[in-house]
């Protein structure tokens, strides 16, 4: 197969671009978590605020990625970062907010009310309850949100090649420009494999971080 030939002859390139791609996505994911999860937790206090915040994140997500890059370009050019990794990471962070905030919010508000009542009645203050009950129970759903965000980011990062961010999208972009079929396929293949691998990884993480009491419950009900 010509694609395999291409890959074997351009091993270093493919490897470098893969690492670059992972770097962009990982950085974006990290930033998204430290922004999104606390927001998700904070809005559980007030339903009205929650609605507004989630709506905003929802709207952000509907902006097509190419368009968002286009919008960020003039804004970030002011600090000379219109092209390259910075707009890419910023865009990814913005897109990831919806799945992360929404899942975090839903996970915590879906904790059965009797657990909250029992916790309060026994004398747990709000922090204790969050820490010992609500968050541990919410973690599986939050991780599911991260999983969505990660896989989505891997796909969008491929497009970021068009604004000079690098990553596996370069193979696709250059392949199209040079009408080099094997290059395009190699790029697409790597992006897909990366997405599948990361999805599986998060699924495993979801399982590992599900509290044992819940995991046993799921197994028993099968």
Partner 1 sequence: MIRYETVTKIFGSGQEAVAAVDDVTFDIEKGDVVAFLGPSGCGKTTLLRLTNRLIPLTRGRIIINDRDIMSVDAVKLRQSMGYAIQAIGLFPNKTIYQNIATVPNLLGWEEERIEKRVNELLIMLQLDPDVFKDRYPVELSGGQQQRVGVARCLAADPEIVLMDEPFGAIDPINREEIQNEFLRIQGNLKKTIAFVTHDIHEAIKVGDKIAIFQGGKLIQYDTPEIILTRPKNKYIADFVGADRALKVLGLLRTKDAMNTKPRNIIQSSTDARKVLEFMTDHGFKHCIVMEGDKPLGYVTPKSLKHKNGLVRDVTEPHPKLIRKYDTLRDVMSSMLMHDEYVLCVVGDTGDFIGTITMNDIQRSILNVYTEEEQ
Q: What is the rounded CA–CA span in Å between residue 152 and residue 144?
A: 12
Contacting range for partner 1; rule: CB under 8 A; set: 27-35, 52-60, 124-132, 143-151: 124-132
C-alpha dist (Å) from residue 89 to 77, 86, 127, 206, 220? 15, 5, 32, 24, 42
Which of 48, 62, 80, 125 is in the footprint of partner 1 by CB under 8 A? 125
Q: What is the rounded CA–CA span in Å between residue 129 and residue 122?
A: 11
Q: Which is nearer to partner 1, 119 or 187 (CB)?
A: 119
Q: Is 217 in the site for partner 1 (CB under 8 A)?
A: yes
Q: Which is nearer to partner 1, 127 or 179 (CB)?
A: 127
Which of 119, 145, 166, 175 is in the footprint of partner 1 by CB under 8 A? 119
Where in 126-145 is the site for partner 1 (CB under 8 A)? 128, 132-133, 136-137
Residue (of 7, 166, 86) closest to 174 by Cα position:
166
Contacting range for partner 1; rule: CB under 8 A; set: 13-21, 95-103, 116-124, 145-153: 116-124
Shortest spacing between CB 114 and partner 1, in angstroms: 4
Q: If you ran DSSP here, which 8-state letter would residue 178 be given?
A: T
* 158 touches 172 (CB < 8 A): yes
* 32 touches 148 (CB < 8 A): no
At residue 179, the 3 state secondary structure works out as coil
Q: What is the rounded CA–CA span in Å between residue 44 and residue 41?
A: 6
Which of 1, 78, 79, 122 is in the footprint of partner 1 by CB under 8 A? 122
Q: Note the residues at the interface with partner 1 (CB under 8 A).
A: 112, 114-115, 117-125, 128, 132-133, 136-137, 211-214, 216-217, 220
């Amino acid at each position: 197969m010509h694609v395999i030939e291409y890959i074997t002859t351009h091993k270093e390139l493919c490897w470098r671009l893969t690492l670059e791609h992972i770097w962009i996505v990982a950085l974006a994911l990290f930033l998204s978590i430290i922004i999104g999860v606390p927001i998700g937790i904070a809005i559980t206090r007030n339903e009205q605020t929650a609605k507004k915040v989630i709506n905003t994140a929802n709207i952000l997500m509907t902006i097509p990625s190419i368009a968002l890059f286009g919008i960020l370009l003039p804004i970030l050019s002011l600090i000379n970062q219109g092209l390259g990794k910075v707009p890419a990471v910023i865009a990814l962070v913005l897109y990831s907010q919806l799945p992360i905030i929404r899942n975090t919010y839903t996970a915590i508000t879906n904790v059965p009310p009797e657990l909250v009542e029992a916790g309060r009645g026994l004398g747990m203050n709000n922090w204790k309850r969050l820490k010992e009950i609500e968050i541990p129970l919410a973690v599986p759903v939050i991780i599911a949100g991260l999983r969505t965000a990660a896989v989505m980011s891997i796909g969008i990062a491929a497009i970021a090649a068009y604004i000079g961010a690098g990553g596996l999208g370069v193979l696709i972009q250059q392949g199209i420009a040079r009408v080099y079929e094997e290059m395009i396929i190699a790029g697409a293949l790597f992006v897909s494999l990366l997405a599948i691998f990361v999805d599986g990884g998060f699924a495993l993480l979801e399982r590992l971080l599900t509290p044992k009491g819940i995991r046993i419950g799921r197994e028993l009900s099968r």
